[in-house]
Amino acid sequence: MNKKENYEVFHIKCLNSNHQEIDASVRIWTGTEINPTVYQFPTYEPYTYKGKAAMYYLEYKNEEDNVIQTKSDRINDAFYDLCSKLDKLHIKMLIKGCSYGYYMIPRLHYSIYAVKLILGKRLDKNYPRVNIFSEESDLENIRNVKQLNEYYNEWIKSISVIPY
Q: How confident is the model at residue 44 (pLDDT cuts 50, 70, 90)?
A: confident
Counting other chains too, the contacts that 122-125 makes at CB distance below 8 Å and 24 or more residues apart are 122/159, 122/162, 122/164
In a domain, 138, yes or no: yes
Q: Which of 116, 103, 111, 113 is nearest to 149 (CA)?
A: 103
Q: Which domain holds residue 24?
A: 5-159
In a domain, 103, yes or no: yes
State the pLDDT at residue 108: 72
In a domain, 118, yes or no: yes
pTM over 0.85: yes
In a domain, 30, yes or no: yes
User: Domains in the chain: how many in total?
Assistant: 1
How much of the chain, in percent, has pLDDT values that exceed 70? 98
In a domain, 164, yes or no: no
